[in-house]
Amino acid sequence: MSPERATEHPAAAAAAEPGNAYEALNEGDDPRWAYGTGFADPLAGVDTRVPSGVDAADLAGYCLMLGDDALVMSHRLQEWCTRAPELEEEVALANIALDLLGQARLLLSRAGAAEGAGRDEDALAYLRDPGGFRNVRLVEAENGDFGHAMARLLVFAAWRLALLDRLAGSRDPVLAAVAAKGVKEVAYHRDYAAGWVVRLGDGTAYSRERMAAGLAAVWPLVPELFARHEVEARLAAAGVAADPAGLRAEFDQVLDQVLTAATLARPPERPGPVRAAGRAGEHTPALATLLAELQSVARAHPGAAW
């Protein structure tokens, strides 16, 4: 479980609803009984103005990148719900999906505020088309088996932890606060995935084969994680963003350690320059399919209140 849990629940306010016949159950009402649906506002007391010398459009774009990574990865984990190999994994995968959804909400809200066009987290999540999404392609690829899921989660979490760790020192106090919260969560995600990669790699002959196949399927999407988009380059120079190229050494070290314990070899990588395609809004058809589902209800009822 993540070390930090929700301490304030949005629906807690509904407790005083007229006609509620269940008062007898409200013994102090510990909000941890419904995990991950609220935040101990990590932005409390944080200066939310755009720091001096930082381009607001760049900041909005960068928050979209990190927010979309989390939103789309969370969606792929949500798809595991009721399909996990064991109940403990149901709980853990939902937990990780909730953590990432929470990060996405904060980052999309920050993007909307920096943009200043009145778009909130839901407008950004539900009313953008695929070309407007800035996530890396790793997260949009369709789900495979559990070996694939653990390969992708390990790669994603090892990369994101290195990123958030650096971002905790960002000149933007909001990104710094979001990153500081996220580091604790993603450290758990990485440990969880690493545990399974080792178990499957060093388990049965069949699981070893599946785990190697999962890594092989995910690996072509690894180089893009370290490609630098111009927004990232400008904001890294301004002390706001983490330079993706600078994350590779830590990532390699973590992966080598896990893969050694898993008795697996690192898949070969095609040499040559790689573009930050997802960051530029160039996606695979998998993202369009994913968004069609994610946005279906929201778009079917314009003007509705949820």
Partner 1 sequence: MADLEGHFDRTIARDQRIEPRDWMPDGYRATMVRQIAQHAHSEIIGMQPEGEWITRAPSLRRKAILLAKVQDEAGHGLYLYSAAETLGADRAELTDKLIEGRQKYSSIFNYPTLGYADVGVIGWLVDGAAICNQVPLCRSSYGPYARAMIRICKEESFHQRQGYELLLTMMKGTADQRAMVQDAVDRWWWPSLMMFGPPDDASPNTARSMAWKIKRHTNDELRQRFVDMTVPQAAVLGVTLPDPELRWNPERGHHDFGAIDWSELQRVISGDGPCNAERLARRRAAHEDGAWVREAAAAHARKAAARAAREPQEVAG
Confirm or reject binding of residue 291 to partner 1 (CB under 8 A).
no
- Do 65 and 134 meet the contact criterion of CB atoms below 8 Å apart? yes
∠ Cα 126 129 131 (to 5°): 140
Q: Which of the 8 DSSP states describes residue 281?
A: T
- Do 187 and 3 meet the contact criterion of CB atoms below 8 Å apart? no
What does residue 202 show for φ and ψ, rounded to 5 degrees?
A: -110, 45
Q: Which of residues 138-167 bind partner 1 (CB under 8 A)?
A: 145-146
21 vs 117, beta carbon nearer partner 1: 21
Angstrom distance (rounded) from CA 201 to CA 204 = 8
Confirm or reject binding of residue 30 to partner 1 (CB under 8 A).
yes
Q: Which of residues 218-277 bind partner 1 (CB under 8 A)?
A: 261
Confirm or reject binding of residue 118 to partner 1 (CB under 8 A).
no
CB of 6 to partner 1, least distance (A): 8
Q: What six digits make up the tokens of 116?
A: 């200043």
- Do 144 and 217 meet the contact criterion of CB atoms below 8 Å apart? yes
Contact residue for partner 1 among 134, 160, 210, 283 (CB under 8 A): 210
Contact residue for partner 1 among 102, 112, 182, 214 (CB under 8 A): 102
∠ Cα 152 99 234 (to 5°): 75
Angstrom distance (rounded) from CA 155 to CA 193 = 9
Number of shown-chain residues binding partner 1 (CB under 8 A): 72
SS3 39: coil
Confirm or reject binding of residue 204 to partner 1 (CB under 8 A).
yes
26 vs 52, beta carbon nearer partner 1: 26
Contact residue for partner 1 among 72, 73, 98, 164 (CB under 8 A): 98
The stretch near partner 1 (CB under 8 A) out of 121-129, 136-144, 163-171, 226-234 is: 121-129
Contact residue for partner 1 among 4, 35, 184, 252 (CB under 8 A): 35
Confirm or reject binding of residue 285 to partner 1 (CB under 8 A).
no
- Do 130 and 287 meet the contact criterion of CB atoms below 8 Å apart? yes
Contact residue for partner 1 among 72, 151, 200, 235 (CB under 8 A): 200
The stretch near partner 1 (CB under 8 A) out of 40-48, 52-60, 193-201, 226-234 is: 193-201
Q: Which of residues 59-78 bind partner 1 (CB under 8 A)?
A: 71, 75, 78
101 vs 154, beta carbon nearer partner 1: 101
* CA–CA distances in Å: residue 293 to residues 120, 287, 290, 302: 20, 10, 5, 16
Q: Which of 86, 134, 101, 121 is nearest to 231 (CA)?
A: 134
The stretch near partner 1 (CB under 8 A) out of 46-54, 159-167, 231-239, 295-303 is: 295-303
The stretch near partner 1 (CB under 8 A) out of 26-34, 47-55, 244-252, 275-283 is: 26-34
Contact residue for partner 1 among 144, 203, 223, 281 (CB under 8 A): 203
Confirm or reject binding of residue 125 to partner 1 (CB under 8 A).
yes
Q: Which of residues 77-96 bind partner 1 (CB under 8 A)?
A: 78-79, 81-91, 94-95
Side-chain-side CA neighbours of residue 208 (13 Å)? 11
∠ Cα 101 106 111 (to 5°): 120
Confirm or reject binding of residue 37 to partner 1 (CB under 8 A).
yes
Q: What six digits make up the tokens of 160?
A: 């994101």
